[in-house]
Amino acid sequence: MKTGFGLILACLALAACDPAGRDSEMDAFIDNLMGRMTVEEKIGQLNLPAGGDIVSGQVFETDLAELVSSGRAGGFFNVKGVERITEFQRLAIEKSRLGIPLLVGADVIHGYETVFPIPIALSCSWNPSAIERMARISAVEASADGVNWTFSPMVDICRDARWGRIAEGSGEDPWLGSQMAAAYVRGYQGADMSHDDEIMACVKHFAAYGAPEAGRDYTAADMSRQKLYNCYLPPYRAAIEAGAGSVMTSFNLLDGEHPTASRWLLDGLLRRQWGFDGMVVTDYNSISDMATLGLVEAPEAAAMSLKAGTDMDMVSNAYLNTLGDSYRKGLISMEEIDRACRRILEAKYRLGLFSEPYKYCKPQRAETELYTEEHLEAAREIAAETFVLLKNDGNILPLQKKGKIALIGPLADAGNNMCGMWSQLCVDSRHISLLQAFKEELGNDAELLYARGSNLYYSEKTQQYATGRRSIPRGDDNALLREALRAADEADVIVTALGESCEMSGESASRADITIPDAQRHLLKRLVATGKPVVLLLFTGRPLVLDWESDNVPAILNVWYAGSEAGHAISDAVFGRTNPCGKLTTTFPRAVGQEPLYYNYLQCSRPPWTNEHFVAYNSNYIDVANTPLYPFGYGMSYTTFEYGSPEFSSDRISADEPVKISLTVTNTGNRAGVEIVQLYIHDCLASLARPVKELKNYRRVTLQPGESKMVEFTLTTDELKFYNSNLELVYEPGDFEIMTGPDSGHLTVKLIKGI
Ligand code: BGC
């Protein structure tokens, strides 16, 4: 049976799109609806209260049901379960005067019930198809459970490992980040958001949330426009060009302004320059935060935000409580209210909610489409692509399934910690631990010894802060160590599962000391001191300082937080069912004092950057080398690859004549493997200093043992452009270094002339 809205839609037999690309049928429908709305009802659409299943800030006292039935909510977020969501949707449709359906948002960040690796890990696959696949599955599951809007992708560039939310993004590179950003959107929104299993994406946090001072969450970002345009904005833009339906503003200051109330950012850049015609939502409580930040009080903050182009108020209730008065006092116009209301209604229309309000409320889908075998298989496959092999002396890895293997560490038997931050919508107890996965894999082939080995931290309080509700049991430090040394003593090889607990990264999880926590590091030192071969399986949501580990531990496999199938996927890699192929998208420092540390820095007047030893009056440190411990783009494999020297079709490039670059890559080991071949440029002389290296492309090649493949790139002058001091995107002819190789630290350079 068609609803009232369905009938109206069916009666509007207008052409679908006018020449300006507008959907005239949608426009007519919304004109008609808005013509019947009171000011209060319009303002109601701009309100987004929290459901409270996920707490990402202070949860506000709101009676959600009352708000919905009185038409004072345009949607809600972070409520789990199709039945409960259907109840709210029913209240909106049947009880509110106009029966306008609700947006149902959720932080579906790297999976829903089937959880995939955390986003920083996903980016290390350098495989947008894997990200698209994970986003597609996430959308299928979330939509089956009632959700129609995800607060993802988070595309904030981050160059500082102290910031916990580095885990949520795609790393430090704008070009690669842009490829990933678009892939998320394609996956969530599918063809056009109109199918049952397609949901609206929300690009966040606009803009430059990833540059908080000192890596401390929520602190101000302050930067030149050139840096913003060249480094931070590209991924947001890529997501918008891929069709993202919504944008979330950032809730930290950018250049002293609140992005939520910034006219130049929202109305100017986002809407007018980039042509974004979707809806803009604030981040959690942003409008009220403006008073705390010493900017403006609620009524003015709300009016400023509305005028700037923020359509929906997440949680603060400032739109709901103040816009009506502000309108009556003439501080805001009806046109401004209408503009925001229209954008929200358009999002609902594009999602198909008006023609089928219960489109996402089908309990039978929730019964059959969540956490399926097929989704878990995908999670396992994708996880395998995200592991980064940092070190493998003497080819310790993969391990053979024989003899006695000791698995030691507080993360070895922590199934509740496998999914990583932002995975509260999943069911923790379902996920097997590494220990269980090792047992399954080894069967009777080898003897498995296990010891927890240490607490996460010596300090109980710090451990509590670090684990939150995903607690890891504690024991007596000495007894745990003794047990570990006993197991180590018996074993032929020691596999350690150490690092950060899963809640040590993500929101509100900044760290000033980014080493492996004290108790675990001491455990590792004692295990290495036994002289037995030691493998470090590193769990982390950020780059860690691994100075001692990289000098002393023979094999290090960074497994990040790999999701529902972490146990199986890690065990697959350890025992050689899969071959690691991930490469870092974020630089690993030697010391925290190097942060922010990233590969695409601007040259300074006192090079060389690569000094291994201190040179007075150079730009370096007395006590630590400038170079990273593991550079951007770095990652090993169980096999080896040899790079032939690159051939260039010409030593000149122009707008009409791109340059073709080709090189041969050979698998020189005895296992099949995937290699990620990278292309960088450097603009040698320009009107503004340019980064020493900038990634411009890459190829993923699968090679059998002994196999060679020709890898080809086409470089155009588009890739050589940058935003100049007038913020114009320009190509400036001159000399360019073109670099190819396996990572940003090992490149072959050739000079070409740009004309
Ligand atoms: C985070 C957002 C998130 C929102 C809703 C905020 O604290 O910054 O990324 O989408 O909460 O949960």
Name the band, by pLDDT with cuts 50, 70 and 90, for residue 1. very low
User: Distance, CA 130 to ligand 1 centroid (Å)?
Assistant: 24
Sequence-separated (6 or more) residues with CB below 8 Å from residue 717: 653, 654, 655, 658, 731, 754
Based on the domain organization, do 47 and 196 belong to the same domain?
Answer: yes
Pick from 53, 103, 151 the residue to mutate for probing ligand 1's pocket: most ligand atoms within 8 Å of its CB.
151
Q: Which atom belonging to ligand 1 lies closest to the Cα atom of 205?
A: 9
Is the pLDDT score of 522 beyond 60?
A: yes
64-88 pLDDT, tens digit per residue, is 899 999 999 999 998 999 999 999 9
Nearest to 349 by CA among 450, 245, 260, 259: 245
385-428 pLDDT, tens digit per residue, is 999 999 999 999 999 999 999 999 999 999 999 999 999 888 88
235-293 pLDDT, tens digit per residue, is 999 999 999 999 999 999 999 999 999 999 999 999 999 999 999 999 999 999 999 99
Pick from 507, 508, 510 the residue to mutate for probing ligand 1's pocket: most ligand atoms within 8 Å of its CB.
507
- Of 27-31, 499-503, 600-604, the range with the lowest mean pLDDT is 600-604
**What CATH number did the domain enclosing 728 receive?**
2.60.40.10
pLDDT of residue 677: 98
Based on the domain organization, do 57 and 126 belong to the same domain?
Answer: yes
Pick from 54, 56, 165 the residue to mutate for probing ligand 1's pocket: most ligand atoms within 8 Å of its CB.
56
Mean pLDDT (the chain, rounded): 95
Based on the domain organization, do 47 and 148 belong to the same domain?
Answer: yes
Nearest CA to ligand 1 atom 8: 283
Based on the domain organization, do 492 and 522 belong to the same domain?
Answer: yes
For the Cβ of 284 lying below 6 angstroms from any atom of ligand 1, the answer is yes
Vertex 359: Cα angle to 337 and 191 (nearest 5): 85
The pTM score is 0.96
Across 115-142, average pLDDT: 98
Sequence-separated (6 or more) residues with CB below 8 Å from residue 97: 41, 71
End residue of a domain, out of 578, 607, 631: 578
Rounded CA-CA distance 380/441 in Å is 14
Q: Which atom belonging to ligand 1 lies closest to the Cα atom of 202?
A: 10
In a domain, residue 250? The reply is: yes
Pick from 79, 107, 424 the residue to mutate for probing ligand 1's pocket: most ligand atoms within 8 Å of its CB.
107
312-342 pLDDT, tens digit per residue, is 999 999 999 999 999 999 999 999 999 999 9
Q: Do 163 and 220 touch, CB atoms closer than 8 A?
A: no
pLDDT of residue 288: 95
Is the pLDDT score of 610 beyond 70?
A: no
Rounded CA-CA distance 570/383 in Å is 8
Based on the domain organization, do 567 and 661 belong to the same domain?
Answer: no
Domain tally for the chain? 3
End residue of a domain, out of 546, 578, 610: 578
Q: Do 160 and 595 touch, CB atoms closer than 8 A?
A: yes
In a domain, residue 632? The reply is: no
Rounded CA-CA distance 722/621 in Å is 31
Share of the chain above pLDDT 90, in %: 90
Rounded CA-CA distance 608/617 in Å is 11
In a domain, residue 18? The reply is: no
Q: Do 311 and 281 touch, CB atoms closer than 8 A?
A: yes
Based on the domain organization, do 329 and 471 belong to the same domain?
Answer: no
User: Distance, CA 206 to ligand 1 centroid (Å)?
Assistant: 12
Based on the domain organization, do 414 and 351 belong to the same domain?
Answer: no
Based on the domain organization, do 260 and 395 belong to the same domain?
Answer: no
Domain that holds residue 662: 641-754
In a domain, residue 243? The reply is: yes
203-215 pLDDT, tens digit per residue, is 999 999 999 999 9
pLDDT of residue 22: 83
pLDDT of residue 52: 66
In a domain, residue 272? The reply is: yes
Is the pLDDT score of 5 beyond 60?
A: no
Is the pLDDT score of 58 beyond 80?
A: no
User: Distance, CA 418 to ligand 1 centroid (Å)?
Assistant: 21
- Give the phi and the psi of residue 748 in degrees, each rounded to 5: -95, 130
Is the pLDDT score of 347 beyond 50?
A: yes
User: Distance, CA 375 to ligand 1 centroid (Å)?
Assistant: 26
Based on the domain organization, do 417 and 348 belong to the same domain?
Answer: no
Determine the distance from the C-alpha atom of residue 660 to the mean position of all C-alpha atoms in its chain, rounded to a whole number: 32
Q: How would DSSP label each residue in 332-394?
A: S-HHHHHHHHHHHHHHHHHTTTTT-TTTT--HHHHHHHSS-HHHHHHHHHHHHTT-EEEEEGG
User: Distance, CA 132 to ligand 1 centroid (Å)?
Assistant: 22
In a domain, residue 611? The reply is: no
Identify the bridge partners of residue 700 per DSSP, sorted by sequence position: 676
**What CATH number did the domain enclosing 571 receive?**
3.40.50.1700
Q: Which atom belonging to ligand 1 lies closest to the Cα atom of 56?
A: 7
Share of the chain above pLDDT 70, in %: 95
**What CATH number did the domain enclosing 51 receive?**
3.20.20.300
Q: How would DSSP label each residue in 92-107?
A: IIIISSS-PPPEEEE-
Q: Which atom belonging to ligand 1 lies closest to the Cα atom of 107?
A: 10
Is the pLDDT score of 38 beyond 70?
A: yes
Name the band, by pLDDT with cuts 50, 70 and 90, for residue 469. confident
91-127 pLDDT, tens digit per residue, is 999 999 999 999 999 999 999 999 999 999 999 999 9
End residue of a domain, out of 306, 332, 367: 367
User: Distance, CA 661 to ligand 1 centroid (Å)?
Assistant: 43
Based on the domain organization, do 460 and 337 belong to the same domain?
Answer: no
Sequence-separated (6 or more) residues with CB below 8 Å from residue 739: 679, 680, 681, 682, 693, 747, 748, 749, 750
Nearest CA to ligand 1 atom 7: 56
pLDDT of residue 145: 97
Strand runs labelled E in 74-198 = 75-77, 103-106, 149-150
Based on the domain organization, do 193 and 228 belong to the same domain?
Answer: yes
672: which 2 tokens? 């099949």
pLDDT of residue 60: 44
Q: Which atom belonging to ligand 1 lies closest to the Cα atom of 54?
A: 12
Based on the domain organization, do 92 and 222 belong to the same domain?
Answer: yes
643-655 pLDDT, tens digit per residue, is 999 999 999 999 9
User: Distance, CA 284 to ligand 1 centroid (Å)?
Assistant: 6
User: Distance, CA 176 to ligand 1 centroid (Å)?
Assistant: 24
Q: Which atom belonging to ligand 1 lies closest to the Cα atom of 209?
A: 8
Helices 334-350 and 24-34 pack at an angle, to 10 degrees, of 130
Q: Which candidate in 145, 156, 173, 283 is catalytic?
A: 283
CA-CA distances (angstroms) from residue 642 to 388, 489, 583, 714? 19, 39, 16, 21
- Of 411-415, 541-545, 616-620, the range with the lowest mean pLDDT is 616-620
Rounded CA-CA distance 102/76 in Å is 7
pLDDT of residue 63: 86
Cis, peptide link before residue 191, omega less than 30° from 0:
no
If one compares 753 and 298, the residue with the highest pLDDT of the two is 753
Sequence-separated (6 or more) residues with CB below 8 Å from residue 148: 103, 104, 105, 199, 200, 351, 353, 359, 360
Sequence-separated (6 or more) residues with CB below 8 Å from residue 190: 136, 139, 197, 198
Catalytic annotation on 283? yes
Is the pLDDT score of 378 beyond 50?
A: yes
576-585 pLDDT, tens digit per residue, is 999 999 999 9
In a domain, residue 2? The reply is: no
- Of 18-27, 154-163, 384-393, 450-459, the range with the lowest mean pLDDT is 18-27
For the Cβ of 107 lying below 6 angstroms from any atom of ligand 1, the answer is yes
Rounded CA-CA distance 690/52 in Å is 46
Name the band, by pLDDT with cuts 50, 70 and 90, for residue 4. very low
Is the pLDDT score of 59 beyond 50?
A: no
Nearest CA to ligand 1 atom 10: 151
Is the pLDDT score of 2 beyond 80?
A: no
In a domain, residue 4? The reply is: no
